Amino acid sequence: MIAGGRSRGEERVTDIAAEIRQFITTEFAGDARPSVTDSTPLIDEGVIDSLGIFIVVDFLKDRFDIEVEPEEVTVDNFETVGAIAGLVAAKRPGTD
């Protein structure tokens, strides 16, 4: 075990959100956009489109080892970084 690390069970929603925010900023936001915060309306501001949602879904599967069911790919779950982090946290028991 690597000393000083947090186990999966000790992961914080804020850490998850930070990783998601970083991914979305790198992949979608680009230089011309204002920085993405946890409450930026990703869809209404055009940061991600319908295809982008599925790219985010793939990222979540790979990075957080979760399954996102088709019926969970809804606007409410992907409206903001905070909402996406909430979805991930709900699927990872022990996240605080």
Q: Which residues bind another protein (CB under 8 A)?
A: 27, 43-44, 49-55, 57-58, 61, 67, 70-71, 73-76
- Least distance in angstroms from the C-beta of 11 to another protein: 23
Q: Which residue, 17 or 57, has its beta carbon nearer to another protein?
A: 57
- Alpha helices, DSSP H, located in the chain: 13-24, 50-64, 75-78, 81-91
Residue placing its CB nearer to another protein in the complex, 3 or 51: 51
Instruction: Give least dist CB 82 to another protein, A.
Output: 17
Which of 80, 70, 67, 64 is CA-nearest to residue 24? Answer: 80
Token reading at 93: 């028991």
Give the separation between CA 85 and CA 20, rounded to whole angstroms.
7
In the complex, what is the shortest distance from the CB of residue 55 to another protein, in angstroms, rounded to a whole number? 7
